Structure 1
Amino acid sequence: MIRLTTILSALAVLTGNAFAQDEAPDLFALISDRDMAGLEAAIEAGADVNQRQSEGLEATPLMWSTGREANYTRVLLEAGAEVDVRDAMGDPAINWAAYYGNTDAIALLLAAGADTDLIGHGTPVEIVMRRGHEASFALLLDHRGERPDRSAAEAALEAAALAGDGESIAVLAPYVDMATARDWAGRPVLHAAARANRADAVTALIAAGAPVDGEDSIGFTALFEASRDGALDAVEALIAAGADVNHVSNENALSLTALHLAAIGNHVDVVGALLGSGADTDAVGTMGATPLMWAAFEGSHEAALRLVEAGTDLSVEGRFGDTALSAAEAYEWDDVVRAIRERLPE
């Protein structure tokens, strides 16, 4: 069984954390060190560009490269790296690029024929939506021909929302179905105001009839968007308007909550606002991980400590058997480890 600590180790060379593998395969080490000359020399000498990690996510160098500059992806593709091979979680390289929001790498993979329908932690479109990578989202929608047709009134409504123009929102509302009004990518317009941290526009849109808990195609509400992006003013406006702080996203977005997203982003002020409004600290998604465990996985130190102090259930084990304690130990967060140990039963 793959454990969270081995996944953390698999990401360690990219992130430069102390728990990186001691003996990474040559191409992985060269990519991690940003040694382009060494990578090209190794390939010229016959290194296998489709080698796999022996543990963890069983990644390929092409997957690994998407966490670096796109030139590493380009060199591997030119050397014959397989585009659609999938890791232990079912994610091909384009899903990795989507996770990192590496738009240049996504473009190279699309040009190489990458399949955008393969599902690991969602499709690449769903992953960039969840992660909030707008430029990558636009590229993928354009590639798939999925940008929605909108009325001029809808486009004007989005522009007013992004500008925080409540008066224009009120004027436009009679000409738009506020229950279905969409932004440029087909998400509720309220989401756009939330991402932009336009609390005034959030309030005006809801007053004009936008549903406060309206969902996009992955089950995210405006509160999810604001929480992920650390948009505290919008978070507070949405909570004041009655947003469900314990809404759960769809399975194609890992069944997360707004608190998961705030924790992942290390937005401690948003974490506090959600906790103060009754957010469930022990909610688990499809990976079996609480917001605390996700914070640890993503390296969000301050959010992890805040969630421990909030009384999160520390006995929860994730899908791969790891706990908040093991994740904190992997990151060598002494204060988090100490706080967890103080709360664990003898």
Structure 2
Amino acid sequence: MDRLIKPDEQTVDVLFNRGLKCSQTFKLTNLMHTMPVAISLTTSDPQIFSFPQPFYILPPLSTSSFLVQLNKPFDQPPLSTAPATILVRSSTLPTGKAHQDDLRRLFSKPGPHIFKDATLPIYFVGPQAAEFLLTSSFETMYSVFSKAISCCDESQLTCLLRVAAVNGNSHFISALIEAGADVNDRDPEGESVMSLAVKSGKADAVRVLIQSGYVMDDKIDRFLHVAAAMNKADIMENLCLGYVDIDLDSVNSLGQTALHLAAIHGQVEALQFLVSVGSNVDSTDRFGWTPLHYAAQEGHFEAVEFLLNHSVYSKYAVTKEGQTAFALAVERGNLDLYDSLCLGDLLQRAARIDDVHAIKSCLARGADVNGKDQNGWTPLHRAAFKGHIESVKVLVSSQGARVDVVDGSGYTPLLRAVEAGNVEVAVYLLSRGAKTGLKSLDGRLPCDIECLKNHPSLVIPLDQVKERD
């Protein structure tokens, strides 16, 4: 026989309550048919746990309850990385009688007469212990957590699920749902467990709730809005995959879509995702504001650039108060947005009509002298193509326009001037260092000798027009 005592349970589960000196009983059975057994109880953490007395006598084949207790009340369960344990040792006691001092002497002497019958882990259980695990550094102790929730009812499990959702811990969320927590629970204000998980920013938590059967209410759930404001494209992707009929352009109480929220906060990754799945870039809210209006007002340069590249008319749309996105940028003093929102258009127009004063005015207000339109044309391309020599000179000599920038077809301003037969402009650009060896996308040289020969009014010697590296 390798033991004299058998425990009725393999663990001792202590129901934890804050501020109370918690305790728990456990049962041991004497396996001996005819002989009493002496029992020694010790713990691996005597500073935390103790027994009313350390030694007991158990009659033959009898079962008795024993008490383990905390030495004092605790506000939080005194956990460690490994559970504390109770060591149960035993020895035969033929007389059936002995005092505590006698038993102490008996167990103080090692030898074959001492049996090590059991080592029982002590677990803290109940909602307070589980909540502590959810919000502490012990949150990776999943086996301990599963033990802690084993005695919780559905209401307690659901309350814990809300805590787990706030923390975004997908493993604990799964354990709680498996144990019986209500995945579709909402608080008195209507906030759901899913809402809390989305706000946590953890995509894994959101995915677990979707897979566990969360039912979305289109009337009140605005998860895309929350995720967009946080720039959590991974969460939005999970939502779109989990709810294929999700309304990408659903609106909040202000009539704003998720795209509006992403623009307000300048969340470019969220904007990119929402546009890629079909959100309406030109949607307006209750005040007539598009996402571009908000991005311009808040000064989010990258968001403005993205929305301009994907918008149909937002650049020209006006709010109910009659303001364009450009006007809002001006109102807030967001100078770096002026060119994208308006000045670039004005500068292109000025170059097209040879309005030198307007060119200087636009550039003084912040327009980009090398800014491109939808075809990749800079103001210099446009002035060169139109043959406006004064505008070309102002752009190049006074404002530092790049003479060799290429448009969407690979054409430089020099090639556009030659293409339109504007020799005076071509000669000026050559004098300012324009390269003649740059090819367009179709392989054409912008200014080879044969091309220039077609313009008899060229007044400079041909040997000055050599291809440059």
TM-score of the two chains, using structure 1 as the length reference: 0.48
State the structure with bigger RCO (CA 8 A, min sep 6), 1 or 2.
1
Q: Which has the higher helix share?
A: 1
Q: Which has the higher strand share?
A: 2
Q: Rg larger in 1 or in 2?
A: 2
